[in-house]
Amino acid sequence: MTRPRLIFVNRVYWPATAATAQLLTDLAESLAARGWPVHIICAGQESGAHQGVMIHRTGADHQLGGLCSRVRRYSDFNRRAKQQLATLAGPNDIVVLMTDPPLLGAHLTGLALRRGARVIHWTQDIYPEIVTAHLGQLTAWPLWPWRLKRNAAWRAAQGSVTLSASMAAIVAEATPTITTAIIPNWAPRELQVPAPAEAIAACRAKWGLADKCIVAYSGNLGRVHDFMTILAAAARLKNQPEIAFLFIGTGARFDGLRSAATARQLKNISFLPPVSRENLAIALAATDIQLVTLNPAFAHLVYPSKLAGALAAGRPVLFVGPSQGEIAQLLTTEDCGRAVPPGDDEALAAIITEWQLDLPRRRQLERKARAAYTKYFTLTHAVERWIEILQKVAAPVNN
């Protein structure tokens, strides 16, 4: 069977460092290396080929500002991407629509189908429900037309991919006739090989935390995460100088989080800027315990990608989030971490202290964390699953 062209649409792509940019870059380049013709429609200024992938830039700037600026830039990208897709897509192509901007699929599915292409929705976040969860039920009524458009786009597609069983259930409710594949986001490919011990030691020394038990949150400090439980646990442990908390990254909650830590005089908390992808394996492995958090209101709408990176680095995970959710179940099943309900800072502080004192147990958790990564979160596994889906969507329909 001749392989169809693949056209991925997402606002960000290489060399951008946003999570979806890195994921799409990994997948696109891996598929291109296996002989698939891959095209990307994304924001930016310079089109051309990179690592076997043809990149079609819309000319729009991918940098974001406040809410009004985001709305304008999202709208501009949707318009420009639609123009690009109208020119590029044709019969038998497979168009994969991501969720940056939110509801991108609602804008572009109809056009792709009219051009004779087949459509797969790769759902990273479920909008507009995220907006309702963030702003409250008063937003639900004004957003219902977008929900209807989104559902119609899901139903019209030939395939659907999402990150977790709970997210897949939401998609399945709207599209009972379409099978939704679950492919968790993988750890960045740079983490396939463990970081060398010398580089890890040098990183800890550079941070000035060489002799500490480092409890770290690495990644986007976004609105769907719970940070107050971490701050409260740090306050409980502020008189234990052997334990240090580290936030690596930026995001919508960064300023508020740093201000709250300063107001509480939590000198056991440090803040660092985002780490480059090339140095991510070292930075993650230079910590002792990794934090992953999720506000329960968003538990069925997103799946934190940072979990995969933490496990790939071989670091035990403390999850602040729903204790009956998929992440909590995975940590328990694979014995590579623990879950703590939001607000239970006493339990969080107790587990951190327990692990800090029990190095043999921590080493056991580290080995099991790496094993869980190998089992669930490798790029190789994800690419194989994607190829299965693409081949199924590309197969001729028997009437």
CA separation for the pair 330, 344 (Å, rounded) = 20
Q: Residue 399 pLDDT more than 50? A: no
Give the chain's mean pLDDT: 93
Average pLDDT rounded to a whole number, residues 78-101: 96
Domain 189-376: which CATH number of 3.40.50.300, 3.40.50.10490, 3.40.50.2000, 3.40.1440.10 = 3.40.50.2000
Architecture of domain 6-186+378-394: 3-Layer(aba) Sandwich (3.40)
Tens of pLDDT, residues 233-256: 999 999 999 999 999 999 889 999
Give the pLDDT of residue 141: 62
Average pLDDT rounded to a whole number, residues 75-97: 96
Tens of pLDDT, residues 253-302: 999 999 999 999 999 999 999 999 899 999 999 999 999 999 999 999 99
Domain boundaries, the chain: 6-186+378-394, 189-376
Average pLDDT rounded to a whole number, residues 310-327: 96
Pairing of strands 53-57, 94-97: unpaired
Establish how many alpha carbons lie within 13 A of residue 217's alpha carbon, considering only the half-sphere containing its beta carbon. Answer: 29
- Amino acid, res. 328: A
Q: Is 248 exposed, middle or buried (0-12, 13-18, 19+ CB in 10 A)?
A: buried
Q: Residue 394 pLDDT more than 50? A: yes
CA separation for the pair 51, 43 (Å, rounded) = 18
Buried b / exposed e across 272-287, counting CB within 10 Å, b at 16+?
Answer: eebbebeebbbbbbbb
Tens of pLDDT, residues 150-171: 999 999 999 999 999 999 999 9
Contact at 8 Å (CB) between 34 and 390? no
Contact at 8 Å (CB) between 109 and 119? yes
Task: Look up the pTM and report it.
Answer: 0.92
Q: Which of 140-154, 290-304, 315-329 has the lowest mean pLDDT?
A: 140-154
Give the pLDDT of residue 1: 60
Q: Residue 186 pLDDT more than 60? A: yes
Q: How confident is the model at residue 143 (pLDDT cuts 50, 70, 90)?
A: confident
Query: In this prediction, what percent of the chain has a pLDDT beyond 70?
Result: 95
CA separation for the pair 245, 232 (Å, rounded) = 12
Q: Residue 206 pLDDT more than 50? A: yes
189-376 matches 6-186+378-394 in CATH topology: yes
Q: Residue 140 pLDDT more than 70? A: no
Contacts of 132 (CB under 8 A, 6+ apart): 139, 140, 143
